Structure 1
Amino acid sequence: MPFPSRWSRRSFLGALSTITGGLLAPDHLKAASMLSPKRKRPVDGDPIVPIESGLGSTGDIYAELGITPLVNINGTLTVIGGSVMRPEVMELIRQGNQHCVSIDELEIAAGKFIAKICRSPTGYTGLVTGGAAAALTVGYAGMMTEDLNPRLRTIPDVSGFPRTEVIIQKSHRYAFDHQIRQTGATLVEVETREEMIAAINPKTVAIHFTNILSDQGQVSGPETVAIAKAHNLYTFNDAAADVPPKERLWEYPGLGFDLVAFSGGKDIRGPQASGVLIGREELIRYALLNMSPQEDRVGRCCKVGKETIFGLLKALELFVNQDLDEDTRMYDARARVITDAVTKFGVTALPRQYNPQALGNVTPYYSWRIAPRLGLTGADVMQKLAETRPLAIGARSAGASGLRGRDPEGASEPKPAPKPHTKKYSDDDPESGPNDFGFPLWQLKEGEDKLIADRLAEIFSEARKG
């Protein structure tokens, strides 16, 4: 369908409702209530109903709150809300809201589902956590407390605990080791294999492995596992951003890591505040003892609702069963829509970049080169896309790590190091020139490729006139 080149909020919402309106049609929601299909008044857990007054009654909650939503060409970044959930995931969230249930019982059942669909080794199970960062906290807490009530109540005061040290390669230090330290554990930095072995002592509980930084350390994942096993230590692999490819869901536990964490809100496209922890049954039980719904626990704040659990399970099922070749063909088709709209302005498509073995948010990446005569740089184009209204296309600040505090001494803060979980999309990315711009297309919804194409045509048309 045609999209207006000069957008208004009304024209955008009209186009968007045509694209997505069918998702809320009653036929999609007939699996609603198991108890009383003849009920006239909707109750909690029933199908979604129109909102006739108050917040949401206009159909544009972003405008009601005065904020600008984004077309996601940045990737699955927490600072912009991760990814957009599929309709099937939203339906499972709705179904999960129909009744109350024992969260512990649901978590144990969900763990078995995860282990089966992720082909986990014998003796492994899963746990739905409040994000991959929460998986770090409850996983390491479980290693140190086991199932002992006095420890469960006193952590992060770990004085008197027998084992509280975690070995980590210096090159694997990252923003998320804060979630290990908040359990009271002490990180011990090493660089070489020999240093790793020498650092092991009676206080050592585990060796941590940061998967997205595995190409920067001197000790590989398999070597880490072998050293830990030889010394009766646990291992934890934080692979939050390292699916796709989906095979890593079973390859990393298959290497022998005792616990492996994945984000549920990235390309798995589950609820943003969800994570998947796969590991040995005993350790998963210890982790569950350290998190909500249990009270007086270090992970009580890592709450996971029944709706999140059901949504994550459906998202994971869809992710494991997806056809990567089919998805890539869809991305290519979206890129062609954009290419067809900009070619006439002297903008040419560059070869698709894709390395399926790269680390961190692996996805095909598409880029274009602007003819110098247009007088626009790639940065100019990306800035103009981000300034688009009423719906911004991308966000120029989306690579940031979030809000930052101030230096009490008044000194300017050093520039933050690159965030490991937002590493470049492909290890074979060439250096882009000043006239190149590009982005991944994996998070676009149906029709958003046309929105981008129309906006780029508008940008290049104005540049040519100028």
Structure 2
Amino acid sequence: MKRRKLIKSLSSIPLLGALPFLSKNAEATSVRKKRDIIEELGIRTFINAAGTLTYMSGCIMQEEVVETIENTSKHFCMIDEVQDKVGEKIAKLVHSEAAMVTCGAFSAMTLGLAGVLTGTDVRKVEQLPHIEGTGMKSEVICQKSHNERYNHAFLNTGCTVVEVETIDDVERAISEKTALLHFLNITANLGQVKHEHWVALGKKYNIPTSIDIAADVPPVSNLWKFNEMGFDMVFISGGKAMRGPQSAGILMGKKNIIEAARLNSPPRGFTVARGLKVNKEEILGMYVALEKFIAGDHERKWKEWESQVAHIENAVKDLSGITTQVSIPELGNITPTLTISWDDSIVKLTGREMRDRLRNGSPSIEAGFSGLPLYHYQAGSDSIDPTVAETLKGVNLVRVTAWMLQPGEFRVVAKRIKTELVLAGAS
């Protein structure tokens, strides 16, 4: 065989032998393109300059929370064991006797009251919400200004809500039917009876007290403040500042109540709360979110929000007809909030029209509500309660927060708001 042909034939041997290996290796190392289901379905995504609103999908979970959900999804666990171990850890973090993860603050309210009503009597658990003739208590007392729509969570147990306004009203309303004295933190300043007096009334009459602080962190200290104050139950959302799963929340409080609430909760199938499932992924993800939130550098984060809000304010405050103000809400979503308002003789735009322009532009931006607290708005839309809709006529402003913005988005928000105001007449 000639030298050239020999070399050629020999050089082909390892290549041919390697073909099966190369083929398999190529399959193993090929990167499968991830499916973008949001793009596939044409779902609008947006920059969130409004805050942690349920109908806007709450928050973007922390990376470690997402990793926890993904990793735990690959294993089977007993739900009660997960709740036992996570509840013990959470209770220590929030300075309560006991805790459990629920599918949101609303769920925590239903389960907490159910626990108060039934105790650990399985027969009573099975009877809810049909409490008439069972000997169970049937009324929840709260201040008139605290009787928000979320109190429907209590109605799910079969109870009714009794409204009061003064301490004397509370004492007159208390009877053998009273199961719970409930307090809504976001409207605390609207009621005549303050936190400490509400707790004192509960202790005086041996009636459990509860408080809804669904959106009331930051500050981080609120996670334990109300437990230490003496409330028997505290309800909080997980998918807001803590950046846990939007489908999760926490019920914390007295050990006997949490034990009874657990008896009313899934995985048991004979309860009024069977539909309020929370799986291992959310339970463990919520624990990680809480742990990381408490350990976070809150001072640094606050300064970051202030800086970003200042950048947006500086972009528009010197325009003609524009007024800006940075404030910090006393209750609920306590973060630096920028209000941008304008003279409608110069800027030919309503607050609602400004929000629509930001929403419908590219990239889409969601700005805050125009002049009313969040609880006036219908869940799931921008529609407003008919009784207060009149208030917004002629209100020319938008509100902007930075705490749900992703890195660099504050610059986009500043530029877009300035552009819209200039297009509408500001200069």
Code of the residue aligned with 1:165 in structure 2: it is E
Bigger CA drift: 61-70 or 300-309?
Answer: 61-70
In 1, Cα distance between the equivalents of 2:284 and 2:270? Answer: 25
Code of the residue aligned with 2:303 in structure 1: it is R
In 1, Cα distance between the equivalents of 2:156 and 2:72? Answer: 32
Structure 1 counterpart of 2:386, from 404, 412, 415: 415
Check conservation: 2:239, 2:247, Cα contact below 8 A.
yes
Counterpart residue number, 2:108: 135
Counterpart residue number, 2:24: none
Larger Rg: 2
Counterpart residue number, 2:87: 111
Query: Structure 1 286/372 Cα, relative in aligned 2: closer, same or farther at 3 Å?
Result: closer
Counterpart residue number, 1:361: 333
Q: How far apart are residue 434 of structure 1 and its match?
A: 6.2
Q: How far apart are residue 441 of structure 1 and its match?
A: 1.1
Check conservation: 1:126, 1:277, Cα contact below 8 A.
yes
Counterpart residue number, 2:252: 278
Code of the residue aligned with 1:383 in structure 2: it is D
Residue 200 in structure 1 maps to residue 174 in structure 2 = yes
Counterpart residue number, 2:231: 257
SS of the residue 2:327 aligns to: coil
In 2, Cα distance between the equivalents of 1:202 and 1:292? Answer: 29
Code of the residue aligned with 2:402 in structure 1: it is L
Residue 448 in structure 1 maps to residue 425 in structure 2 = no
SS of the residue 2:303 aligns to: helix
Q: What does 1:302-321 align with in structure 2 at a 5 Å threshold?
A: 302-321=276-295
Residue 99 in structure 1 maps to residue 75 in structure 2 = yes
Structure 1 counterpart of 2:379, from 390, 395, 402: 402
Bigger CA drift: 372-381 or 230-239?
Answer: 372-381
Q: TM-score, normalised by structure 1?
A: 0.75
Q: What does 1:307-386 align with in structure 2 at a 5 Å threshold?
A: 307-339=281-313, 341-342=315-316, 350-355=324-329, 358-368=330-340, 375-377=347-349, 379=351, 380-386=353-359
Code of the residue aligned with 2:409 in structure 1: it is E
Counterpart residue number, 1:226: 200
SS of the residue 2:338 aligns to: strand
Residue 299 in structure 1 maps to residue 260 in structure 2 = no
Check conservation: 1:386, 1:395, Cα contact below 8 A.
no
In 1, Cα distance between the equivalents of 2:154 and 2:31? Answer: 44
Code of the residue aligned with 1:452 in structure 2: it is V
Q: What does 1:239-250 align with in structure 2 at a 5 Å threshold?
A: 239-250=213-224
Check conservation: 1:265, 1:271, Cα contact below 8 A.
yes
Check conservation: 1:151, 1:161, Cα contact below 8 A.
no
In 2, Cα distance between the equivalents of 1:111 and 1:323? Answer: 24
In 1, Cα distance between the equivalents of 2:182 and 2:345? Answer: 52
Check conservation: 1:114, 1:126, Cα contact below 8 A.
yes
Residue 187 in structure 1 maps to residue 174 in structure 2 = no
In 2, Cα distance between the equivalents of 1:350 and 1:464? Answer: 17
Query: Structure 1 201/368 Cα, relative in aligned 2: closer, same or farther at 3 Å?
Result: closer
Counterpart residue number, 2:13: none
In 1, Cα distance between the equivalents of 2:158 and 2:185? Answer: 23
Bigger CA drift: 435-444 or 92-101?
Answer: 435-444
Residue 72 in structure 1 maps to residue 48 in structure 2 = yes
Check conservation: 1:236, 1:258, Cα contact below 8 A.
yes
Q: TM-score, normalised by structure 2?
A: 0.82
Counterpart residue number, 2:129: 156
Check conservation: 1:107, 1:309, Cα contact below 8 A.
yes
Residue 269 in structure 1 maps to residue 269 in structure 2 = no
SS of the residue 1:94 aligns to: helix
Code of the residue aligned with 2:64 in structure 1: it is E
Q: How far apart are residue 41 of structure 1 and its match?
A: 8.4
Q: Provide structure 1 residue ranges, at least 5 long, that are not aligned to the other structure.
A: 1-39, 43-48, 405-412, 419-430
CA deviation profile, 1:59-103 (whole Å, cap 9, x unmatched): 3x3332233222112211111111111212211212222311111
Code of the residue aligned with 2:399 in structure 1: it is G
CA deviation profile, 1:359-387 (whole Å, cap 9, x unmatched): 11111112446688963446243332122
Counterpart residue number, 2:151: 177
In the alignment of these two chains, the number of paired residues is 390
Structure 2 counterpart of 1:81, from 52, 57, 79: 57
Code of the residue aligned with 1:149 in structure 2: it is V
Q: How far apart are residue 145 of structure 1 and its match?
A: 0.9
Q: How far apart are residue 142 of structure 1 and its match?
A: 0.8
In 2, Cα distance between the equivalents of 1:201 and 1:95? Answer: 50
Check conservation: 2:367, 2:398, Cα contact below 8 A.
no
Q: How far apart are residue 184 of structure 1 and its match?
A: 0.8
Which has a greater percent of helix? 2
CA deviation profile, 1:108-167 (whole Å, cap 9, x unmatched): 1111111111233xxx11110000000011110111111111111111011213322222
Q: Identical aligned pairs, as a percentage?
A: 33
CA deviation profile, 1:208-239 (whole Å, cap 9, x unmatched): 11222222222222112212112221111111
Q: Provide structure 2 residue ranges, at least 5 long, that are not aligned to the other structure.
A: 1-26
Check conservation: 2:95, 2:227, Cα contact below 8 A.
no
In 1, Cα distance between the equivalents of 2:326 and 2:363? Answer: 30
Structure 1 counterpart of 2:117, from 144, 148, 152: 144
